[in-house]
Amino acid sequence: MVLVYKIKKMNAQELKHIIPIDYSYKPETNKNYVYFAVDKKQDYIKILKDIKKKMQIQQKDVITLADKKLKKIEKKPHSIKEILKNKGINIDISSFEVIKDIAIIDIPKKLNIKKETMNEIADAIMRVHPHVKTVLRKASAMEGEWRVRRLELIKGEEKTITTYIENGCRFKVDLSKMYYSTRLSPERMRIAKLVQESKKNEQILIPFAGYGPFAITIAKYNPSCRIAGIEINPYAVEYFKENIRLNKLENIDVYEGDARAIVKTKFNSWADRIIMPLPKNTIDYLSDIIIGAKGESIIHVYAFSDRERMFKDVEEKLDKKIGKEYDYQIINKRIVRPYSPFVSQVVMDIKIRRKNRQL
Ligand SMILES: C[S@@+](CC[C@H](N)C(=O)[O-])C[C@H]1O[C@@H](n2cnc3c(N)ncnc32)[C@H](O)[C@@H]1O
C-alpha cells in the first residue's frame, strides 16, 4: 500500500532525491503540484525530518498528504523467456517470426506441447510485442510447388493476411496462400544496391517472384530499370499486382505461369540480370531460365548447400548445368541464412557469357 503526497512543483526536482518515491505508481502533475507515491511503511516523520535538515525549510509548506489515487505502472517483463520461466515453462521459442501484427512460432509437433502451454506461449509473445494480435503455429514445412506452409491458430484474431513494411516498401501478404520470409529482407536490399551500383538501366528478370518482395524492392530503388516478375501461384500474382499499386511503381510487369515456358516465349536473350529465388529447385531450372540472359549478364542463384561441403556441392552442380555453354565467373558467394541444422541457404552472384565470347 502507498500513500500519495503532493509537493510544490518548484521543489519537486530537489525533493525527489530525498524522498523514497515509489515509482511503480505513475507521478502526476497539475499547474502547481506534483503527486507521487510513497510506501506506507516508510517512516514519514523521518522523511519530514530529512527534508527539514537537508533543505532547511518548514516541511509542511513543501510536502502534504493528498486525497488522490495514482495509476500503478505494470512492470513489463524483459523477455518471453523470462515470462515463461516464471510460469515454469522451459521451451525455447527464440526462432519465432513477427510479420506486422502476426507472430508465427515454430514448435515441433514431436514435443507434444499441451494446448494450455501453447496458450501461455502466445500470451507471453503478445505481452512483449503488444502490437501482435494473432499467434500462429507452423503446422508444416514450406510445401509443394508454391512453397506454402500450413498454419494453425493458437491465439487471437483468426487471420493470415497482413501488410508490413520492409526496406521502405509496403507488402500485403496472405501467409496461408503464398511463400513468405521476412528473413530475406537484407538480401533483397543487397540486390537492389548492386543494381544501383551497376548504373545501367537494367532489364531484370525475376522468375519465382512470389508476391513481389525482390521485384518491388529493386524497382523502388531503381526507377529507371525495367523488371519482369514471373509467378505460378495465382494468389501470389494477385498480391504481387496489389503490392505494385501500394508502392506506386510503374516499372514492373507481372506474368502468371510457369517461368520456364514464359522465359522461352517472351524473354529470350532479354535480361541484364536474372534473380532466381527458388532455392529448392534452382539448379534443375537453370538451363531453362538462363536462356533469358543477354550475351553477358549477371545471375543470382539461390540454393541450399550442405554445411559440410558449403558452396562446393552447389558449384559442382552449377558447372555441370552451364559449364559447357557458358563461360562463367562466380563473383561473390555468401550464406543468406541457416535453413536447418545441416543446411544453409546460399547465394552466388555469377557473371555469365555465352561461350565463344570473352569474359
Ligand atoms: C521460395 S519462393 C520465393 C518467392 C519470393 N521471391 C520471395 O522471396 O518471397 C518461390 C516461388 O516460386 C514460385 N514458383 C515455383 N515454381 C515456379 C515455376 N515453375 N514458375 C514460376 N513460379 C514458380 C512459387 O509459387 C513461389 O512463390
Contacts of 56 (CB under 8 A, 6+ apart): none
pLDDT above 90: residue 58 = no
Q: Is 38 helix (H, G, I), strand (E, B) or coil?
A: strand
Q: Is any ligand 1 atom within 6 A of the Cβ of residue 146?
A: yes
Q: Is any ligand 1 atom within 6 A of the Cβ of residue 278?
A: yes
The pLDDT score that the predictor gives to residue 281 is 86
pLDDT above 90: residue 44 = no
CA of 276 to the centre of ligand 1 (A): 9
CA of 107 to the centre of ligand 1 (A): 25
Intra-chain end-to-end CA distance of the chain, in Å: 79
CA quadruple 138, 140, 142, 145: dihedral positive or negative?
negative
Of 208, 265, 300, the one to substitute when testing ligand 1's pocket (max ligand atoms within 8 A of C-beta) is 208
Rounded (10°) angle between helices 213-221 and 185-198: 40
| Cell matching residue 282 | 534452382
Q: Is any ligand 1 atom within 6 A of the Cβ of residue 240?
A: no
Mean pLDDT, rounded, of the chain: 91
CA of 106 to the centre of ligand 1 (A): 22
DSSP 341: S
pLDDT above 80: residue 76 = no
pTM of the predicted model as reported, rounded to 2 decimal places = 0.80
Q: Is any ligand 1 atom within 6 A of the Cβ of residue 208?
A: yes
| Cell matching residue 125 | 509473445
- At 286, give phi and psi (nearest 5°): -55, -45
DSSP 25: B
Averaged over 111-137, what is the pLDDT? 92
Of 169, 184, 267, 278, the one to substitute when testing ligand 1's pocket (max ligand atoms within 8 A of C-beta) is 278
Contact 272, 226 (CB under 8 A): no
- Closest by CA to 64, choosing from 48, 78, 42, is 48
Q: How confident is the model at residue 235 (pLDDT cuts 50, 70, 90)?
A: very high
**Domains delineated in the chain:** 2-65 (no CATH), 80-159 (3.30.300.110), 180-354 (3.40.50.150)
Cα three-residue angle 97-124-120, rounded to 5 degrees: 110
pLDDT above 60: residue 79 = yes
Q: Is any ligand 1 atom within 6 A of the Cβ of residue 277?
A: yes
Rounded (10°) angle between helices 259-266 and 282-290: 10
- Closest by CA to 337, choosing from 304, 308, 309, is 304
Of 172, 179, 284, the one to substitute when testing ligand 1's pocket (max ligand atoms within 8 A of C-beta) is 179
CA of 344 to the centre of ligand 1 (A): 18
